[in-house]
């Protein structure tokens, strides 16, 4: 069941916790001002180990695609900013519905995805199973939504598959709870320091 949480600050004002979908994108808000610009998206992708080309293409594609949706009622900006607090408006069709309309995580949908598609290994997805998942979620005439979903899953697979070509369930889960990118950045940083210290 989807849930959200809130807390009370020092002034006694209720402060809403970020939704899992907001946490998912907050990693790319490098200066933590609630707005993500293309150069921040680029830096975020580089931090998790993406090459220059993928990081460049992703930053352009993501910011152009999401900026207008997260800035309802505002004039288009040539800088293509994404407003984190409105990321729920950027949800696209042909997705897995693991985030609800408010950007909250729906555990039942997550488990359903693996029960339905992870047949080779119940705790991971193969490349073929990922293609089947995308095909199953594709909605009629939803070209843009399907392309967005395909891009997200393919980049995730490319960056996070294991040595056997499997995308682990725990990794996918960490995408949805917003922790994956921080973990990837730390792993890259550790590897970098390890390489420097080796003879």
Instruction: Pick the last residue of a domain from 70, 89, 108.
Output: 89
**Per-residue pLDDT for 3 more than 70?**
no
For the entire predicted model, the pTM comes to 0.81
Residue 191 lies in a domain: no
pLDDT of residue 195: 62
Q: What is the radius of gyration, based on Cα positions, of the chain? A: 18
Spatial separation of the C-alpha atoms in residues 40 and 27, rounded to whole Å: 9
Which of 49, 74, 89 terminates a domain? The answer is 89
Q: Is the pLDDT at 4 greater than 70, yes or no?
A: no
Q: What is the largest CA-CA distance in the chain?
A: 57
Asked whether residue 102 falls in the same domain as residue 71, the answer is no
The arithmetic mean of pLDDT across residues 124-143, rounded, is 95
Half-sphere exposure of 118 (CA within 13 A, CB side): 17
For residue 125, pLDDT over 80 is answered with yes
- Are 126 and 137 within one domain? yes
Number of domains in the chain: 2
pLDDT of residue 180: 92
Burial of 24 by CB count in 10 Å (0-12 exposed, 13-18 middle, 19+ buried)?
Answer: buried
Residue 31's domain is classified under what CATH number?
Answer: 1.10.238
Clarify whether residues 168 and 97 are in a common domain: yes
Arithmetic mean of pLDDT, 27-38: 97
Residue 7 lies in a domain: no
CA atoms of 167 and 11, how far apart (whole Å):
45
Q: Is 195 strand, coil or helix?
A: helix
More confident residue, 77 or 94: 77
- Is the pLDDT at 156 greater than 60, yes or no? yes
Neighbours of 53 (CB within 10 A): 8
Please check whether residue 194 lies inside any domain of the structure.
Answer: no
Tell me the average pLDDT of the chain: 89
Domain boundaries, position 127: 92-176
């Amino acid at each position: 069941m989807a849930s959200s949480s809130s807390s009370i600050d020092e002034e006694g004002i209720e402060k809403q916790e970020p939704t899992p979908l907001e946490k998912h994108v907050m990693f790319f808000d490098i200066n933590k001002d609630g707005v993500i610009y293309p150069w921040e998206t680029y830096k975020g992708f580089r931090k998790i180990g993406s090459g220059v080309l993928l990081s460049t293409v992703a930053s352009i594609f993501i910011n152009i695609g999401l900026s207008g949706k997260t800035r309802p009622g505002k004039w288009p900006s040539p800088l293509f900013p994404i407003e984190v607090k409105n990321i729920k408006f950027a949800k696209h069709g042909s997705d897995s519905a693991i985030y609800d309309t408010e950007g909250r995580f729906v555990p039942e949908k997550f488990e359903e995805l693996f029960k339905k598609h992870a047949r080779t290994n119940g705790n991971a997805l193969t490349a073929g199973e990922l293609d089947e998942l995308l095909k199953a979620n594709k909605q009629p005439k939803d070209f843009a939504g399907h392309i967005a979903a395909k891009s997200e899953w393919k980049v995730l697979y490319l960056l996070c598959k294991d040595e056997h070509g499997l995308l682990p369930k725990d990794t996918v889960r960490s995408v949805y709870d917003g922790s994956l990118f921080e973990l990837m950045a730390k792993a890259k940083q550790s590897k970098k320091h390890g390489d420097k210290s080796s003879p």
